[in-house]
Amino acid sequence: MREIVLDTETTGFEPGEGHRIVEIGAVELVNLMPTGRTYHQYINPERAMPQEAFDVHGLGDDFLRDKPVFAQVADAFLAFIGPDSKLVIHNAAFDMKFLNAELSWCRRPPIAQDRAVDTLAIARRRFPGSPGSLDALCRRFGVDNSSREKHGALLDSELLAEVYLELLGGRQPDFALGGPMATGLSTAAGQPAGWRPRPRPVPLPPRLTEAEAAAHAAFVAGMGEAALWNRYR
């Protein structure tokens, strides 16, 4: 199972008001384990960075001026996330509306909404009434976010990956029983659909000695024919 933990930074809150993506960060998980593969890209929003956005992200016009526009990186981004991997996003509706707006502006097909896994919604179901921000969840699970002085897409996606695994019950909620090691496979895809263990070609030899078998038979015989044991011989 391949999932992409993803975060974006933007110039504002609404693409319909002309706001754009300025940074994308993403982390790959396979079978709920980080693979070390990441995607990170700064993007020229082709508009001035509002002061409030600069205060949050620390990304200014001078820094972004020589970065590629979204249309120039769209194909590389789509190749990284793949055609069907789930996208793990905190407050997914926000990032998805910006990603699909940017994709529409450069004439690329939208990302299906059902690919998004919203960790904010998961957190609210698990901890109703508690703060659901990424910082609050890091504190709850003991995830070190001390380097998060400013919002950064790659750092936030790395933190979110740790939080997501905790929300699911820990780094290996299924004890890796469904992963590649369960089948002897080393491929990232893990076991094929419908896989079942085959019967052992040669039965294991019995570990019961002849003396133990005779002692057991004598014990059962002493219980008489009405003994429960005799019904299942």
Place of tokens 């069907």: 84
Report the alpha-carbon distance of residue 17 to residue 181 in Å, rounded. 49
Catalytic residue (choose from 19, 57, 151, 216): 151
Give the 3-state secondary structure percentages of the chain, helix then strand then coil, rounded to 5.
40, 15, 45
Residues whose CB falls within 8 Å of the CB of residue 220, separated by 6 or more in sequence, listed in order: 227, 229, 230
CB-based contacts of 180: which residues, under 8 Å, 6+ apart?
A: 31, 186, 187, 188, 190, 191
Annotated active-site residue 216? The verdict is: no
Integer CA distances (angstroms), 82 to 28, 36, 122, 186, in order: 11, 16, 24, 21
116-118: strand order across its sheet = 33-42, 21-30, 2-10, 86-89, 116-118
Query: What is the CB neighbour count within 10 angstroms for residue 143?
Result: 18
User: Taking the CB of residue 43, how many other CB atoms lie within 10 A of it?
Assistant: 26
Q: Which of 13, 15, 18, 72 is CA-nearest to residue 43?
A: 72
Residue with tokens 């002493």: 222
Catalytic residue set: 151
